[in-house]
Amino acid sequence: MKITTQAVQIGLEWDTRTGSVSVPIYQTATFRHPGLGQSTGFDYTRSGNPTRQTLEDGIARLDGGVRGFAYSTGMAAITGLLMLFNAGDHFVVTEDLYGGTCRLFDKVFNQFGLTFTYVDTTDLAAVEAAIRPETRALFVETLTNPLLKFADLPALAGLAKSRGLLLIADNTFLTPYLLRPLDQGADITVYSATKYLAGHNDTLGGLVVAKDPALAERIYFYQNSVGAVLAPQDSWLIIRGMKTLGVRLDRHQENALKIATWLNSHPRITTVHYPGLEEHPDHELMKQQSGGFGAMIAFEVDNHALVEQVLLKTELISFAESLGGVETLMTFPEVQTHADIPPELRARLGINNVLLRLSVGIEDADDLIEDLRQALEG
């Protein structure tokens, strides 16, 4: 069954009593027991809730995993995964990843004895060279934030397996609609469900999917123990959003290619990072391994003074954090999403003072192009 169909069908099996096609929001903290030593399968919403379970079962099916887990935010989801590890454990990590993830690693979990080495995960030799005896996992973004490099997951999975490491893939930018990391050898996928999965810039959430039942049990132990779970109302909003994932991403991508092509020809734009362009270094690999190129674009303007002009003069495009919603958003990574990455690393990666990141929405592409044109040229 195609993922678009599976997504639309999420929750249809739940309410057999009334036949509701929308899963109910079980807005309850606790559940009554039918008898001593008996349970309906639900006892306390931190441990399990029918609305949240509908979402968790749904993302597990879309991703091809054995079990899904829903958290209050994407950062909470990654935090839950880090609970699997012990002081002294080491990770090899994508170097140009989301700044909030970098902050979590270096400013929170470092104090608990976890260490992280940042490398270009599109360079298999560099990844292999960074592995130490104490390395326990590779943490990669399948499409990196903000420079849009594409990881060769089967190659990384082969390396991880040969060294006895877990491969954790943050697949936020692509979603299961375009890429299923577990099919390509990853052990765990993680998502900021706030982004494309929910799709409407109206809720926060994080999702995790595990490939192995024993690993899933460990993840559940920490999810339940720590308690950073997704509330029923937010679970329902993400289910609602996921039902239109396929049609939204089709439009997102169609718009992104048009806009990236236009930006690529504009005299005030010096560089465009978008893997859907044939000149992108990972275009062919992504064409082979992914169902599409996503809808994130990063581009550099020819002068720092133009950054503020573009951010403030766009009328349809909002100068705002986040990404993946139906509305087009633009950010300045150096001082917003990636401010917590050390300046020397930002400089080496090219996260500089002329780089803008565009999350392309589903508005009319010609209207978005006109908005960019007047901001660039005004």
Active site residue 170: yes
Residue position matching structure tokens 């929405």: 361
CA separation for the pair 360, 324 (Å, rounded): 8
**Which of 15, 46, 163, 313 is labelled catalytic?**
46
CA separation for the pair 228, 52 (Å, rounded): 13
**Which of 52, 195, 240, 346 is labelled catalytic?**
195
366 contacts: CB under 8 Å, gap ≥ 6: none
Closest alpha carbon to 77 in 175, 210, 178: 210
Active site residue 195: yes
- Contacts of 300-304 with CB under 8 Å at 24 or more apart are 300/269, 300/270, 300/271, 300/272, 300/352, 300/354, 300/355, 300/356, 301/268, 301/269, 301/270, 301/354, 301/356, 301/376, 302/267, 302/268, 302/269, 302/270, 302/354, 303/268, 303/354, 304/353, 304/354
Residue-by-residue DSSP string for 209-240: EESSHHHHHHHHHHHHHH--BPPHHHHHHHHH
CA separation for the pair 294, 171 (Å, rounded): 11
As a 3-state breakdown, the chain gives helix, strand, coil percent values, each rounded to 5, of: 40, 15, 45
207: tokens are 């999702």
CA separation for the pair 280, 266 (Å, rounded): 17
C-alpha 48 chain-centroid distance: 23
Tell me if 294 sits within 8 A of 253, measured CB to CB.
yes
**Which of 63, 89, 96, 170 is labelled catalytic?**
170
Tell me if 142 sits within 8 A of 173, measured CB to CB.
yes
Task: Find the helix packing angle between 304-313 and 365-377, rounded to 10°.
Answer: 130
Q: Which helix (H) or strand (E) holds 135?
A: strand 135-141
The catalytic site residues sit at: 46, 98, 170, 195
